[in-house]
Structure 1
Amino acid sequence: VWPKIFYGLLGSEYLSPATQLLILASLPDHAHYNRNFHSENNWLTMEISALATIAAYFPEFKASTEWMDYAITTMVQSMKNQVYPDGVQTELSSHYHNVALKNFELFKDICDKANRKLPEFYNQTIEDMYRYISHMVRPSGHRLLNNDGDRGSDRNYILEGAKKFDHPDWEYIATNGQSGQEPTDGPSYFYPWAGHFVSRSGFDANAHWSFFDMGPWGSSHQNNDKLHLSVSAFGKDFLVDAGRFAYTGEVAEKFRPYAQSSAGHNLILIDGKGQEKGPKMAEKPIENNQYKLDKDFDYASSSYDKFIDIEGTINHNRTVFYVRNQFWVVVDRITTDRPRKIDALWHWHPDNIVEKDKNIVKTNNAQGNLAIIPVGKKKLDLEFIKGQESPKIQGWYSPEYNIFSANVTSKYSYSITGNSTLVWLLLPSDNEMPKVKANIISETDKEIKLMVKLQNEKWQLNIPFNNSSGAKLISY
């Protein structure tokens, strides 16, 4: 902004020679500070871009060449530290991924104008970051709501990236197939360093879409939300992350702990307790035995074993099996050394009309619905919570900073004496819920087999708890 003001007002009566001199005299101080006392991560990208701006637009300063050299070296190294090899920014928030991307692009623009060349790695990483947001985007065009962030639209970002890097496949995704070229891969995608798994039925506006979080905690802006699952279909969000609410002020004091906790996500609470903080960074990509992308189905599995103030041992393994264009099956395997109370939380977008039908939770919207159907013979207690403030915050949703409303949280509770497995059928439907029958055929400590009959079709699902090679779908 300041270079535009300075050069735009040169020769104007509104910028006197004395003021010009004061501005010019202050710039080396700003440069010195940003050169020697900059922060890290996203703050670094902004502060180093400011240093490069002074060097590029005011090359008369003796130190400008050194400032630009330092800025390039520092920014390239920061990009290597901030962005995983699969192109995902390490905070693992799609919102702040975009912030980092725009700052990296701003720096590139400054260097281009100064005729300073950046390494090919830098340009390739920007392209990879665009690829990630194009593959994660919901059919509605909205981004992931994960860790801290807002559920804004990524559609224009993706179209911008598609034009810059000549990717008509990204354009196809962003426009729901109205323009561009259909991707040769997908429609589901997995990013193994980030641990972000998106399942889709296709790229149309009514496509099924889900996001399963298998990754680390994140380098900043973290939530205790590993194994969270979000689900959308028919242009609607059904199962959602609570959002970020606010960082400061009354809203933050009231809702911030909820936003960051497992209680604000679609997770399992153990004895009323959520997850502890996890590892900030991934040291290696997730191994192939934890996921599978097949023509007819997707499989992903991960686990977590650190819960707040929990005695003894506990492990929550969650496996998501998506039968393309049909339904999801979620398997929650609890391994424990003692009796536990289990609470399974499912948070609904507030636009949905959510109802109980015995132990089934389903929406009753005019168009576009989802049902959560427990599979098996376990006796589960079902409770709806909406807009609760005491004894604990529960049933609230924040799509954007400082904006929030009450939403329905359906909580299934039951007590276990040892290892136990919960199975959920998530059935989307355009209108009323169709007739469906799901049975557990067999269960071992390594896998579970289900039979699902939906209208005139029937499938057997072999769902290992942690072995993608054993994941199978048999159609009858």
Structure 2
Amino acid sequence: MAVRGRHGERVFVVTLSLCFAWNLVLQGTVAAQDQKAVDIPALEALAQVSPEGFLGDLCDDVPELAPARVALANGDLDGAIAAYVGHFRARPVSHPLMVAWSAIEPATGHNTNAADETLSGFIRDGYNVHQVPESGLDWIGCPLICLTRFPHLQAVLYAAHHTGDPRYVRYTVEHVLEYMENWPIADFIGKGIEGWVDNYTVTRPWHWCMLSPRLQCLGDVVNLTRASEQVTDRERFDILHRMYQETAYMRIYMQKQVDARHNGGLDMLRAMAVACEVLSDFQVPQQWRQDNGRMAKQYLSESFYPDGMNIELTQAYSQSIAAASQTLALMLRDEPDVQELFPLMEAIAGWAIGVGKPTGSLPSYGDLRAGSFAGALNMELIELLDVPWVKTIVERTDGPEPPATVWPWPGEEAWGGLYTMRSDWSPEALYMCINGGPWGISHRHGDRLSFVVSAYGADFIIDPPSTRYHSNEPDAFVSRQAAGFLHNSITIDGVDQFEYARDEQGQVVQTVPREVTEPLDNTWEHGEDYTLWISDYSFVPILNANWERRVVFADKSYWLLQDVITGEGFAGAGQPVTIEQNFQFDEHIEIEFDGNITIATAPNGARLVLLPLEGDLQPQLSKGDTTPHTSYWPDGIPKQDLSTSTDTALPHGRGWVGRGNKLQPAPAVTYVGQVQLRTALTVAILPLKPNQELSDLVDIGKEMSDTRTLWTLPTETGALHVETSADACKVRP
């Protein structure tokens, strides 16, 4: 007997003996997947499993599946499909990583604009846009680089749920089936998980960044449409079958991604958890679920520093990685190995709270714009940990406060490299975060020693966020803003920070490691009325020069910033060098100068004053400078175009912040001038409340000797004395 598949091809029904043969193959696959071993041929076979073989993997100890197994054994594929899909539609499917459709009350008046736009043929994939021509969507060559991970279906799914309009369900299902027809699973085999083409062509669906998000989306698709009468049993079955195949394909490469501690490995763990829930009626996914638990424990234990910072260090990615990791820990909380990781989960909570700005977000070190620190936390897991102060800060309620107003907490080791100091835990607190760590294992920027400042409810000095990586929209102006000169840092003779460069012998010199295996040795000292931080950066081998940055937070009221630059520039020893000392402000800040003093005013009336105390540099204002600027990031080679094969970086100067697909003008103040090395540039950073007068600024004393300078910093109870020289900075008793 023969039946016809969705596209009319003839499918021959297997005999009972062939079903038994498939089960033997599948059981052999399960046995082969002990610990980290991956049986690639067996998994590739599963990735191409036929409809009969797929049903042949149904669990044989579930009575409700007996009708499907009997029909299959009798050669009735249609009957087996109908029996299984009937069971699937009736059983509950839920998972913490899936949309809980049943818990979302349909809302009258739900905004369907985004969904309607998609149904009209205008698709946005998060980067590019495309109007589908009358001839149909080109799944291979259209400019939607993220088409095959289905980002545009989210709005359609929610529209289907809230309105009940069958158009949205039919579009979703037909779109998925069309994808399957244009990208048959056989095309995946042997391709690995790299499939990038360029910024204007569909990324191949086996690419890791398409594969795991698509599986998670398909989980939400089949769960939402389970009860819909607009979807046929065969359509549901075909999508479930494809989920099984793609999950088998993903399983081949998961261990490698987890071993690399890549964020793609974490997303694969999430996708596998969803797929195993949807496919829980089948035998092989039971083994995959066990493998997933083991790999999740490995990822959690290896992807974070002891201080709770994720090894990528990019804060926008760290936020989502931390939240997803806590969700994994919550899911596996009954496992003894995972319970042993609860102190690490507490450290992650400490990072989110300790680094989070009083205004609510994380600082945007690295790619993209970082979101809220609360978004990095799974509050259900937090309830199981010994961190009662998290709820106090997240919910802005009365209760226990964090252990200190500096992070890392006093006495604890610093690993990831972010350090924060604040006056208190209110939204109006004075706050500085400074970066003195490794570059991070991905999404790196030239932002070492760059800092951010918030005060009295306003973000003043920021680490400039980037746009999305690329866009084909006509008004797009995209950039990662990775170049060192764009950050709150120093350039010497036009040389900004670089990650590595070749010396005269052609050997690669790494300026700062991407990852550390020991705690950082930066100065992080605390006294009754001060915090002192010191770290440095070397420009070798491009320049024989070194830059040390020192920060004193005095009386929890203001900062003394000192940049000490030693060595020589391109002209050699004893010759003057050109120095640029940059301060990038938020886009909403207004700037005015009083001589060489910078006065920055926030929309709420709070002000931040940059008062130079030492050095002869003069301020220059840049805002939306489109003039190409040379950077040495990341390889020590001067260039004006920092684009790569996977992102666009249109050449530009200072004075920008990224939002969506375009840079927005934002004021950057750069102090510029020629100096002799050694030199010290000392600046007081002085916050003022709304309506507070400039005459209220503290009067900082300065007493110089031949080699040392003694700074007198007024405090509420007296004065703090800081002694600086070219070689040292210390707070006197």
TM-score (norm 1): 0.87
> 1:450 aligns to what?
711
> 2:594 aligns to what?
357
Q: Unaligned regions of 5+ residues in structure 1, if any?
A: none
Counterpart Cα distance in 2 of 1:383 and 1:256: 23
CA drift at 1:239: 0.9
State whether residues 158 and 171 of structure 1, in contact with CA within 8 Å, keep that contact through their aligned partners in structure 2.
Answer: no
State whether residues 471 and 661 of structure 2, in contact with CA within 8 Å, keep that contact through their aligned partners in structure 1.
Answer: no
> 2:118 aligns to what?
none
Specify the code of the residue in structure 1 equivalent to 2:703.
I
Does residue 173 (structure 1) correspond to residue 393 (structure 2)? The answer is: yes
Specify the code of the residue in structure 1 equivalent to 2:448.
K
Which of the numbers 379, 404, 408 marks the counterpart of 1:186?
404
> 1:281 aligns to what?
515
Counterpart Cα distance in 1 of 2:433 and 2:235: 54
| Per-residue deviation, residues 310-365 of structure 1 (Å, max 9, x unmatched) | 34x11010011101332101111101133321111111222222111111111245
> 1:86 aligns to what?
307
> 1:133 aligns to what?
352
Q: Secondary structure at the match of 2:532?
A: strand
CA drift at 1:163: 4.0
Counterpart Cα distance in 1 of 2:716 and 2:340: 51
| Per-residue deviation, residues 113-166 of structure 1 (Å, max 9, x unmatched) | xx8775224444333222210111111112122111314322465583654536
Counterpart Cα distance in 2 of 1:248 and 1:443: 54
Q: Secondary structure at the match of 1:471?
A: strand
Is the deviation greater in 396-405 or in 191-200?
Answer: 396-405
State whether residues 436 and 455 of structure 1, in contact with CA within 8 Å, keep that contact through their aligned partners in structure 2.
Answer: no
> 2:679 aligns to what?
420
Matches within 5 A, 1:184-223: 185-190=403-408, 192-223=414-445
Specify the code of the residue in structure 1 equivalent to 2:369.
D
Q: Secondary structure at the match of 1:256?
A: coil
CA drift at 1:465: 7.2
CA drift at 1:199: 0.6
> 1:371 aligns to what?
609
State whether residues 363 and 463 of structure 2, in contact with CA within 8 Å, keep that contact through their aligned partners in structure 1.
Answer: no
| Per-residue deviation, residues 376-421 of structure 1 (Å, max 9, x unmatched) | 3x32232112221114323433254335321221111222332111
Counterpart Cα distance in 2 of 1:33 and 1:444: 70
CA drift at 1:170: 1.7
Which of the numbers 225, 233, 256 marks the counterpart of 1:17?
233
State whether residues 360 and 372 of structure 1, in contact with CA within 8 Å, keep that contact through their aligned partners in structure 2.
Answer: yes
| Per-residue deviation, residues 259-318 of structure 1 (Å, max 9, x unmatched) | 10112111011101210114211221112x6111333111111111136x834x110100
Specify the code of the residue in structure 1 equivalent to 2:547.
H
Counterpart Cα distance in 2 of 1:196 and 1:443: 34
CA drift at 1:7: 5.1
Does residue 76 (structure 1) correspond to residue 76 (structure 2)? The answer is: no
Q: Secondary structure at the match of 1:179?
A: coil
> 1:345 aligns to what?
582
More relative contact order in 1 or in 2 (CA 8 Å, sep 6+)?
1
Structure 1 residues 455, 98: closer, same or farther in 2, change over 3 A?
A: closer
> 1:302 aligns to what?
535
Structure 1 residues 301, 443: closer, same or farther in 2, change over 3 A?
A: farther
Q: Which has the higher strand share?
A: 1
Does residue 263 (structure 1) correspond to residue 495 (structure 2)? The answer is: no
Does residue 384 (structure 1) correspond to residue 621 (structure 2)? The answer is: yes
Does residue 459 (structure 1) correspond to residue 720 (structure 2)? The answer is: yes
Specify the code of the residue in structure 2 equivalent to 1:374.
P
CA drift at 1:202: 0.6
Structure 1 residues 455, 351: closer, same or farther in 2, change over 3 A?
A: farther
Structure 1 residues 439, 11: closer, same or farther in 2, change over 3 A?
A: closer
> 1:6 aligns to what?
222
CA drift at 1:110: 5.4
Counterpart Cα distance in 2 of 1:222 and 1:53: 31
Q: Secondary structure at the match of 2:699?
A: strand
Structure 1 residues 297, 86: closer, same or farther in 2, change over 3 A?
A: same
Specify the code of the residue in structure 2 equivalent to 1:64.
P
Q: How many residues are matched?
A: 462
Counterpart Cα distance in 2 of 1:465 and 1:145: 31
Does residue 335 (structure 1) correspond to residue 570 (structure 2)? The answer is: no
Does residue 64 (structure 1) correspond to residue 297 (structure 2)? The answer is: no
CA drift at 1:188: 1.1
Counterpart Cα distance in 2 of 1:98 and 1:387: 28
Q: Secondary structure at the match of 1:99?
A: helix
Specify the code of the residue in structure 2 equivalent to 1:331.
Q
Matches within 5 A, 1:14-163: 14-38=230-254, 39=257, 40=260, 41-108=262-329, 111=332, 119-155=338-374, 157-158=376-377, 160=379, 162-163=382-383
TM-score (norm 2): 0.58
State whether residues 315 and 362 of structure 2, in contact with CA within 8 Å, keep that contact through their aligned partners in structure 1.
Answer: yes
Counterpart Cα distance in 2 of 1:136 and 1:58: 40
State whether residues 213 and 226 of structure 1, in contact with CA within 8 Å, keep that contact through their aligned partners in structure 2.
Answer: yes
Specify the code of the residue in structure 2 equivalent to 1:238.
F
* Matched-pair identity in %: 20
Counterpart Cα distance in 2 of 1:11 and 1:232: 51
Is the deviation greater in 116-125 or in 20-29?
Answer: 116-125
Counterpart Cα distance in 2 of 1:420 and 1:341: 12
Q: Secondary structure at the match of 2:700?
A: strand
Q: Provide the alpha-carbon RMSD of the alignment.
A: 3.0
| Per-residue deviation, residues 18-54 of structure 1 (Å, max 9, x unmatched) | 2343233223312221111244511111112222333
Structure 1 residues 105, 381: closer, same or farther in 2, change over 3 A?
A: closer
Structure 1 residues 66, 151: closer, same or farther in 2, change over 3 A?
A: closer
CA drift at 1:57: 3.8
Counterpart Cα distance in 2 of 1:432 and 1:394: 34
